[in-house]
Amino acid sequence: MPVKKDKKEGLKLTSINGNERVFVKLNGSDRHYEFPNGKSLEVYNAVYFNSDEEKHRIICSDGTCIYIDPVIGWFVTWQNFSALDKDYIF
């Protein structure tokens, strides 16, 4: 996934499918989600945020990435770490 940093816009990422998304900088804020099924999700140290098609994409300071559908109430998480490419560690 190519990464471009732009101080005005935050971070621009292009997926392997060619989808380009702009992430705004959050400066390590925390976020709280309450899902319709009564469950909740706490996100700590969020540094970049994107919202497209009512879905949220968050990149945290430790490299954790979270894809959230707050309307339906589910999420998936993974970590982006590479010892070879420092641009994949946020």
* Model confidence band, residue 9 (pLDDT cutoffs 50, 70, 90): low
How far is the C-alpha of 90 from the C-alpha of 87, rounded, in Å? 7
Residue 28 pLDDT: 85
Cα 9–Cα 24–Cα 2 angle in degrees, nearest 5: 75
Extents of the domains making up the chain: 3-81
pTM of the model as a whole: 0.76
Backbone angles phi, psi at 57, to 5 degrees: -120, 125
d(CA 69, CA 18): 21
- Summarised one tens digit per residue, pLDDT across range 11-45 is 898 888 888 999 999 988 899 999 999 999 999 99
Query: Looking at the predicted structure, is the pLDDT value of residue 3 above 60?
Result: no
CA dihedral 27, 16, 53, 33 (to 10 degrees): -40
Mean pLDDT, range 4-15, rounded to an integer: 69
Q: Quick check: 20 and 13 in contact, CB under 8 A? A: yes
